[in-house]
Each structure stands twice: as C-alpha cells, then as structure tokens.
A = this chain, B = another copy of it.
C-alpha cells in the first residue's frame, strides 16, 4: 500500500470563484504511481467546497444563483458578532460539500463522461489549501 499527499494552494482574484481542478488531482495520482485505489480531495478551509459536477458555464452560474437564494449573504448572522462577515460562505460550502473521494482504476481517475472536480471558493482573495491524498497500490 502506498500513499501520496499533495497540498494545492488556491488564491482566487474574486471573492467567489469556481475552479476546475480535475487535472491537478490526476497529476497527484500520476506522481503517486498508484494504479488501483482512491483519492480524497478536501478543502482545508471552512468557507470553500470541493464537488463533482458539470463543466458548463451556464450551470455554474445557476449553482451560484441558487446558493445565494438558499444561503444569502448580508443577513444578520450571529457569526458576524465575532467580526466575521462570511457566515453565508460557511453555509454555501455546506450545501456543496467540502470533499470528494474519487476511484482510481488502471492509474486513471475513474470518472463518468461529464464528471469534473471543482474547487468552489466563497470567501477568497487570500491563500487557502486543498489536500489531495492518494491511497492504493
């Protein structure tokens, strides 16, 4: 059994941004030299998400508008009494999920035809990390 750990630093120029990271995850699998196993991709900060869905610009805008409806910014959240202003980011990331496990088969991410891995930033413009941990043989 082998493991391999990569920390990918994210720094988005906008406060909110969705970034495709499928290739970064595959690169970590390649470096690991693992043929059969799984890889965990997990946001290490609690106002960001990692999810799998379609790489289509319209849908990404739909998701962003939908999250704003379900978890609006600018409400009078209790969390803001600490001086923070990002409670909505914590809620948005909760809906999207903060991690995925991807199967690795014959050395390749075993994804369906439209599956892409995304990093979703809800409180960016500062450095954050994603941990990519590969485990297998």
Contact = CB atoms under 8 A, between A and B. Distances in A.
A14 interface: no
Contact of A5 (B44, B46, B71, B103): B103
A45 B112 contact: yes
Contact of A87 (B59, B99, B137): B59
A96 to B, nearest CB: 7
Interface residues of A, number: 60
Given A40-B103, A46-B115, A79-B62, A3 B137 contact: yes
Contact of A90 (B59, B99, B131): B59
Per DSSP, chain A at the interface is: mixed
Contacts of A137: 1, 3
Contact of A44 (B56, B80, B81, B112): B112
B94 A79 contact: no
Interface string A96-137: 111111110100001111110000000000001101010111
24 contacts: A1-B1, A3-B36, A3-B136, A5-B103, A5-B105, A5-B110, A42-B103, A45-B112, A45-B114, A45-B115, A46-B53, A58-B78, A58-B82, A58-B87, A59-B77, A59-B78, A62-B87, A62-B91, A66-B71, A94-B95, A95-B95, A103-B133, A105-B133, A112-B128
